[in-house]
């Protein structure tokens, strides 16, 4: 319950605390902060400087906040599933950390050494 509440109210902090900070805490933070700015800007009249609430701007801010919350929850859930299956054998996670290199790929640094005398 605490994880879900934190993911809803403060998504980037929830990803850093319960998930993987290097995964996507920064873009989640951008969506969350932009959502907060959109909500405040909408309450103050929006880009048209209305005397009342700018509902499209307010709804855009709420939508961005919801995207950040859902993204944080999916990231946390994916990290938890990956921790139970570190070799990604079952492939039930949408966020699997194992990337297998192709055998025919050469090292890019070795390629650059060919061109320098």
Q: pTM for the complete prediction?
A: 0.71
What is the DSSP track for 9-68? H-HHHHHHHHS-HHHHHHHHHHHHHHHHHHHHHHHTTTTTT-SS--HHHHHHHHHHHHHH
pLDDT (tens digit, 9 = 90+) per residue, 1-35?
Answer: 788 888 889 998 888 888 777 778 889 999 999 99
* Least confident piece of the model among 2-6, 17-21, 63-67, 105-109: 105-109
Residues in the chain: 117
Identify the residue with better confidence: 113 or 25.
Answer: 25
Query: At residue 94, does pLDDT exceed 90?
Result: no
User: Is pLDDT larger for residue 16 or for residue 62?
Assistant: 62
- Domain ranges (residues) in the chain: 2-115
Distances from the Cα of 75 to the Cα of 18, 35, 112, 117, angstroms: 9, 19, 37, 47
Element at 70 (helix H, strand E)? helix 55-84
The reported pLDDT for the residue numbered 18 is 82
Report pLDDT for 31. 96
């Amino acid at each position: 319950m605490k994880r879900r509440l934190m993911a809803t109210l403060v998504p980037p902090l929830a990803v850093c605390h319960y998930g993987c900070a290097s995964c996507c805490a920064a873009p989640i933070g951008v969506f969350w902060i932009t959502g907060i700015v959109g909500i405040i800007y909408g309450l103050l009249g929006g880009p048209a400087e209305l005397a009342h609430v700018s509902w499209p701007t307010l709804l855009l801010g709420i939508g961005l906040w919801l995207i950040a919350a859902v993204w944080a929850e999916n990231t946390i859930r994916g990290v938890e599933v990956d921790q139970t299956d570190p070799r990604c054998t079952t492939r039930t996670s949408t966020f699997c950390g194992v990337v297998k290199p192709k055998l025919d790929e050469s090292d890019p640094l070795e390629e650059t050494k060919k061109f320098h005398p």
